[in-house]
């Protein structure tokens, strides 16, 4: 996959409302942050926070500034109360 294709695919994941919200978030966390799916499934909403400088997600002990579009998706996910169970079948 070329860099251009990767960027285009990542952008689509963030902006394509026809994709399930959970998958859009997972895709946005896998590519730039290199998180394995198993770690994403176990992320807790308490690790997401916002302040006047931006929105952050804490991975291990490190708070990472999120791009605004990804922050909005995570905020939407946390306010709906849905989990990532749809991407992690039991």
What's the token pair of residue 22?
């959970």
**pLDDT score of 90:** 45
How far is Cα 80 from Cα 90, in angstroms, rounded to an integer? 21
Sign of the C-alpha dihedral computed for residues 60, 63, 66 and 71 taken in this order: positive
pLDDT digits (tens, 9 = 90+) for 49-62: 999 999 998 888 88
**pLDDT score of 86:** 45
**pLDDT score of 88:** 46
Q: What is this structure's pTM?
A: 0.68
The residues of the chain scoring below 50 in pLDDT are: 5-6, 84-90
How far is Cα 35 from Cα 15, in angstroms, rounded to an integer? 20
**pLDDT score of 26:** 84
One-letter-per-residue 3-state SS of 26-88:
HHHHHHHHCCCHHHHHCCCHHHEEEECCEEEEEECCEEEECCHHHHHHHHHHHHHCCCCHHHC
Count CB neighbours of 29 within 10 A. 22
């Amino acid at each position: 996959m070329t860099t251009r294709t990767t960027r285009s695919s990542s952008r689509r994941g963030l902006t394509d409302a026809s994709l399930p919200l959970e998958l859009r978030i997972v895709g946005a966390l896998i590519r730039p942050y290199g998180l394995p799916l198993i770690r994403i499934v176990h992320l807790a909403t308490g690790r997401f926070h916002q302040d006047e400088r931006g929105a952050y997600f804490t991975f291990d002990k490190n708070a990472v500034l999120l791009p605004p579009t990804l922050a909005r998706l995570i905020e939407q996910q946390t306010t709906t109360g849905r989990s990532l169970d749809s991407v992690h079948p039991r």
